[in-house]
């Protein structure tokens, strides 16, 4: 977490993104929400408000980007 907090770039793809969410015990605790990936229907694209909703659904063509907390969280993609 020190690397991330010091403006380090980290990318979690597919199941690798779940380590940042509260899906798993002993997660990194970066975001306090459950992530569902590879969903047929997902969240709308754009900035998210904080606190985040309890469950964020991402399709195969989108990503959750966190540039800063709390105002720099958004979903990007098609």
Asked whether 4 and 30 are in contact (CB, 8 A), the reply is yes
Q: How many CB atoms lie within 10 A of CB 58?
A: 19
d(CA 45, CA 75): 5
For every one of its 78 residues, what pLDDT tens digit does the chain have, with 9 covering 90 and above? 688 778 888 888 888 888 889 998 888 888 889 999 999 999 999 999 988 999 999 999 999 988 887 788 899 998
Name the residue ranges covered by the structural domains of the chain. 2-71
pLDDT given at position 35: 94
Measure CA of the first residue to CA of the last residue in the chain; give whole Å.
30
């Amino acid at each position: 977490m020190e690397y991330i907090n010091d403006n380090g770039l980290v990318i979690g793809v597919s199941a690798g993104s779940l380590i940042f969410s509260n899906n798993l015990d002993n997660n990194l605790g970066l975001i306090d929400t459950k992530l569902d990936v590879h969903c047929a229907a997902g969240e709308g694209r754009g900035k998210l408000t904080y606190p985040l909703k309890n469950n964020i659904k991402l399709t195969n063509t989108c990503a959750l980007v966190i540039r800063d907390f709390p105002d720099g969280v958004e979903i990007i993609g098609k």
